[in-house]
Amino acid sequence: LPAEQVYEDLRDRHLKGLNVGLVHGRMKAKDKDEILESFRAGRLDVLVSTTVIEVGVNVPNATIMVIENAERFGLAQLHQLRGRVGRGDQASWCFLMSEPNERLRFMTHTNDGFLVAQKDMELRGPGELFGTRQSGAIAEGAMLMNADAELLKQTHDLAHALLNDPDGDDAKQVIRLAEERYREKLDEIAMN
């Protein structure tokens, strides 16, 4: 259901008598900020929201979150969303409403963001390193954080050495080769 419909249903039927607010991405920033401030100050009992609250919202007295259709979100996004509750001293709960599946079961076993991201990549795929797809099959030859940890460390060390000597011949050659190989993808990213 659209957030507006959920909001109206809660306000007019199920939570009648409570102060219910709504925020979504199509609202003007000023209106969103006013509603979030009302919720933060305790003038609203319930806030219905889209994922617009995923980042940058701090309401320590928020203690319960219900995420409808949780199967539509990646684990990393669910982890970000559930991080909006439990910021104060009170116990908090995040309810994931969905058909049971492996991804969501995993969310009930850890609060570690790194483990969540690793499992999300394992289940949904990493997407494109250079591109716009945020999930998908792992390309042939792609590295996996857990399986290729030593290779990733060596790559990190080499990159660090290149950054320490950005005017050196090695750094210039790496930049030239990367630009040649990924020119089309870099142009595509720049256009987005």
* pLDDT classification of 121: cutoffs 50, 70, 90: confident
Convert the pLDDT of each residue in 15-65 to its tens digit. Answer: 999 999 999 999 999 999 999 999 999 999 999 999 998 887 889 989 999
DSSP 137: P
List helix spans (H) across 27-168: 29-40, 75-82, 102-107, 113-124, 149-164
What is the reported pLDDT for 23? 96
Convert the pLDDT of each residue in 134-164 to its tens digit. Answer: 555 555 455 555 566 777 788 888 888 888 8
Based on the domain organization, do 112 and 150 belong to the same domain?
no
Based on the domain organization, do 70 and 159 belong to the same domain?
no
Based on the domain organization, do 58 and 119 belong to the same domain?
yes
Based on the domain organization, do 105 and 132 belong to the same domain?
no
- The residues, any chain, with a CB within 8 Å of residue 86's CB and separated by 6 or more, are 63, 92, 94
CATH number for position 23: 3.40.50.300
